[in-house]
Amino acid sequence: MTVTALLSFVFLFGTLSANAQYGLEIGFNGGVSYYMGDINYARQFYHPRHNIGATLKFHFGERIDLRLGYFNSRLVGNDADFKNVFQQVRNKSFAVTIDEISAMAEINFLPYIYGDVTRNSFTPYAQLGIAGTFVGRTANDEDFFTMAIPFGFGFKKNILPRLVLSIEWGFRWTISDMIDGITNESIKKDYEIAYGTPLTEDINMKQLGFRYTNDWYSVALVGISYTFKIGGLGCPAYYKRHQK
């Protein structure tokens, strides 16, 4: 899946490069990140932590942007936060820092003109790409690097001729099952004490971590960015003349 996404992204970038570039956008964003994996199966916005980053966008028209981004954040999880008996017995926890570098295509659902604050000045959008994530342990475990598939959706609006405000919610499917440090986990001794049942091989298999289900993390961000005149990005006076 990772290779397919990478090839698709390279093909899309090559296609866009053949078109005129409309402009350049530099921005900063902030918000929260949270983890989903062997400890947190499905709870959204579980223990959110800070997320601070920057983006660089290349505009290829009213519908498509190429986006390069970086952010720093933290992810945490603790079995004690859940009522599940298995998790209470396992009693695992983790805390990591993450640094992500990503390249994504951003697709606007509506015709969107950078610099126009009255017409074609807002749009919802979707994003898809590829990312590399450095995971830093806060305990004695080793740091490591993993790839991820980022995707999500958002909304952006020109609030001034050169300033863009954006709000987005994104998801990262990683190729690693070790962000939380849990995989192929067995709790033979604790199982028998907690349940009063001898641990057969069949039961033991049911108590493993989700070995074949990779970890996820998600982000919710608010961004502010500035657009530069490059190529076809016109001045604000142009839009005023053409709205009459």
124-159 residue pLDDT tens: 999 999 999 999 986 567 899 999 999 999 999 999
pLDDT of residue 200: 60
Instruction: Give residues with Cβ within 8 angstroms of 110, minimum separation 6.
Output: 120, 122, 123, 124
Give CA–CA dist 219/148, Å, rounded: 13
Q: Using the predicted structure, report yes or no on whether residue 237 has a pLDDT greater than 90.
A: no
Q: Using the predicted structure, report yes or no on whether residue 207 has a pLDDT greater than 80.
A: no
Q: Which range has highest mean pLDDT (22-31, 70-79, 172-181)?
A: 70-79
- Measured between its terminal Cα atoms, the distance across the chain in Å is 49
pLDDT of residue 229: 66
- For the chain, the C-alpha Rg in angstroms (whole number) is 22
Residue 49 amino acid letter: R
- From the list 114, 195, 102, the residue with the least C-alpha distance to 152 is 102
Per the document, the length of the chain is: 244
Confidence of residue 181 (pLDDT cuts 50, 70, 90): confident
Give CA–CA dist 226/162, Å, rounded: 5
**Domain 2-242, second-level architecture:** Beta Barrel (2.40)
Q: Does pTM surpass 0.85? A: no
pLDDT of residue 19: 45
Q: What percent of the chain lies above the pLDDT cut of 90?
A: 52
Question: Nearest-5° angle of CA 63, CA 53, CA 56?
Answer: 35
pLDDT of residue 188: 57
Could you tell me the two tokens for 208?
């493993």
Please give the C-alpha separations between residue 146 and each of 101, 143, 157, 242, in angstroms, as whole numbers: 11, 10, 33, 49
Q: Using the predicted structure, report yes or no on whether residue 231 has a pLDDT greater than 60.
A: no
Whether residue 29 contacts residue 100, with contact meaning beta carbons closer than 8 Å, is answered with no
Confidence of residue 168 (pLDDT cuts 50, 70, 90): very high
Confidence of residue 110 (pLDDT cuts 50, 70, 90): very high
- From the list 132, 128, 157, the residue with the least C-alpha distance to 144 is 132
Could you list the beta-strand ranges (E) of 20-92: 23-36, 49-59, 64-78
Q: Mean pLDDT over residues 183-195, rounded?
A: 58
What ranges do the domains of the chain cover?
A: 2-242
Mapped onto helix, strand or coil, the DSSP state of residue 176 is coil
pLDDT of residue 146: 95
Please give the C-alpha separations between residue 236 and each of 21, 226, 240, in angstroms, as whole numbers: 18, 14, 7
pLDDT of residue 242: 45
Least confident segment among 16-20, 57-61, 149-153, 165-169: 16-20
